[in-house]
């Protein structure tokens, strides 16, 4: 192998196995894909040690991808359940899974996930630091924090959220600009607390070159974390968020100089009318790097329904240029998601992603809808189920309420517009009574 990363290969004009596979999935010429990877406008997160991976591309001109969060916590330490979620997420065609485990020795669980997952795997190394060393936050050293990145890279993690943008300069802007919700990023709050407790610079920022060397060695894509993302609509698009975004744009250039692939993480809570502008800001300030949005949740008042608030925002964000949606479940802000919560979150995110792909004119996106329209016009229920984003639910609803006539449903019965138009246009009588 005479290249270090996918970006390095692309700059050298080398078509990798991963590029071929992504081009095939996206119905794109591999040469065009290679050019986008070389520019940093597409990332192919593919750790050299993730042998079970079926690679995906994230970025310009490609289908919008979705990520599923899962992992163990101190209060919910059920490894078997989390592995069941991994398998279900893959079955439901999620392109990425982030292990956000935050308790105990997580390496064994993470290795199992990497071994079985064809989806790309992401992590937030900062979550793992306290549990790995059995130390309080303030007692951790810079070397120990960076070692976690090396450990996870060696295991086969494809992309990592690195909160490098909340440096001392960004922290000062945060202190001067009061927010309703302060810092809501878990990883961001941990690194900010470490900085304050030790009166030091953010180690991810100070030793960013060392982080890049690790990522280049294993071809780990850096997902530059938005530690200062808004946690409520009131905090959106403020000085702190934009200051961090500018820093992330500068870090992006440094990563690309070392052939490390980059994604940028974006806002959490945000009013509908601010989403388009935020997509423009990100693409401009971060040089058209792929954008990974955590929502956006378009209102703060829907606990139990935040998969819906997120899907609304995600569809709008992706239609204006976001490339990667992090799913949100009905359990957001309330508890660790169950398997059923996860299913609902995946479906909501996939709907949002597909709706955006239609709006963006992604090649082949609308063909799925056209096939569904044809099946409905023919009242072909079996084909309708087959084409459904959730066939199981569609079939269950149909069976739970049986109509008098097979070519109708219990909503309209013989008044069904499709049924009657088919009859009239076919020269048949319409018998409603």
412 annotated to bind ligand: yes
What radius of gyration do the chain's Cα atoms show? 23
307 annotated to bind ligand: no
Phi, psi of 291 (to 5 degrees): -110, 125
Alpha helices, DSSP H only, in 320-364? 339-360
What whole-number distance in Å separates Cα of residue 19 and Cα of residue 16?
A: 5
E-only strand ranges, 5-95: 42-43, 58-59, 65-70
292 annotated to bind ligand: yes
333 annotated to bind ligand: yes
Q: Would you state the structure tokens that stand for residue 322, as one six-digit string? A: 């976001």
227 annotated to bind ligand: yes
- Is residue 158 a contact partner of residue 121, using CB atoms and an 8 Å limit? yes
269 annotated to bind ligand: yes
342 annotated to bind ligand: no
Q: H or E stretch including 241? A: helix 239-257
User: What is the distance of C-alpha 173 from the center of its chain?
Assistant: 28
Q: H or E stretch including 75? A: none
326 annotated to bind ligand: no
263 annotated to bind ligand: no
98 annotated to bind ligand: yes
What whole-number distance in Å separates Cα of residue 222 and Cα of residue 6?
A: 13
Number of helices (H), then strands (E), belonging to the chain: the values are 19, 10
Alpha-carbon distance values, 175 to 19, 166, 409 (Å): 44, 12, 59
- Is residue 118 a contact partner of residue 54, using CB atoms and an 8 Å limit? yes
What whole-number distance in Å separates Cα of residue 392 and Cα of residue 375?
A: 17
110 annotated to bind ligand: no
Nearest of 415, 348, 407, 364 to residue 382 by alpha carbon? 407
229 annotated to bind ligand: yes
Cβ partners under 8 Å of residue 345, min gap 6: 68, 307, 327, 328, 329, 330, 337
Q: Which residues are annotated as a binding site for substrate?
A: 69, 98, 127, 163, 185-187, 226-229, 265, 292
Q: Which residues are annotated as a binding site for [4Fe-4S] cluster?
A: 409, 412, 416
Q: Which residues are annotated as a binding site?
A: 69, 98, 127, 163, 185-187, 226-229, 265, 269, 292, 333, 409, 412, 416
Q: Which residues are annotated as a binding site for Zn(2+)?
A: 269, 333
């Amino acid at each position: 192998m005479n290249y270090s990363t996918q970006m390095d290969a692309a700059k050298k004009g080398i078509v990798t196995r991963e590029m071929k596979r992504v081009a095939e999935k996206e119905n794109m010429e591999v040469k065009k894909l290679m050019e986008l990877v070389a520019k940093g406008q597409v990332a192919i997160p593919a750790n050299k040690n993730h042998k079970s991976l079926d690679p995906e591309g994230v970025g310009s001109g490609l289908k919008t991808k979705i990520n599923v969060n899962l992992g163990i916590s101190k209060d919910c330490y059920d490894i078997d359940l989390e592995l069941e979620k991994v398998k279900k997420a893959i079955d439901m065609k999620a392109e990425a899974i982030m292990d956000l485990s935050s308790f105990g020795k997580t390496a064994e669980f993470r290795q199992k996930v990497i071994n079985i997952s064809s989806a790309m795997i992401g992590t937030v190394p900062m979550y793992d630091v306290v549990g790995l060393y059995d130390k309080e936050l303030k007692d951790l050293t810079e070397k120990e924090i960076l070692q976690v990145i090396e450990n996870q890279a060696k295991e086969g993690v494809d992309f990592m959220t690195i909160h490098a943008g909340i440096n001392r300069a960004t922290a000062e802007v945060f202190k001067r600009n009061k927010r309703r919700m302060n810092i809501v990023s878990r990883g961001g709050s941990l690194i900010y607390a470490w900085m304050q407790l030790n009166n030091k610079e953010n180690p991810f920022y100070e030793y960013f070159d060392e982080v890049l060397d690790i990522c280049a060695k294993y071809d780990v894509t850096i997902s530059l974390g938005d530690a200062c993302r808004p946690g409520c609509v009131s905090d959106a698009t403020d000085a702190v968020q934009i200051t961090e975004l500018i820093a992330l744009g500068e870090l992006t250039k440094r990563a690309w100089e070392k052939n490390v692939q980059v994604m940028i993480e974006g806002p959490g809570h945000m009013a509908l009318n601010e989403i388009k502008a935020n997509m423009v800001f990100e693409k401009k300030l971060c040089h058209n790097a792929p954008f990974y949005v955590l929502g956006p949740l378009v209102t703060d008042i829907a606990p139990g329904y935040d998969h819906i608030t997120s899907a609304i925002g995600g569809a709008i964000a992706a239609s204006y240029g976001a490339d990667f949606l992090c799913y949100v479940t009905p359990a957001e802000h309330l508890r660790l998601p169950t398997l059923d919560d996860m299913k609902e979150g995946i479906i909501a995110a996939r709907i949002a992603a597909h709706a955006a792909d239609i709006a963006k004119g992604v090649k082949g996106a609308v063909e799925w809808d056209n096939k569904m329209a044809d099946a409905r016009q023919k009242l072909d229920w079996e084909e309708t189920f087959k084409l459904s984003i959730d066939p199981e639910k569609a079939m269950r609803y149909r069976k739970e309420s049986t109509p008098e006539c097979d070519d109708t449903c219990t909503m309209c019965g013989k008044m069904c517009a499709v049924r009657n138009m088919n009859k009239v246009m076919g020269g048949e009588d319409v018998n409603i009574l």
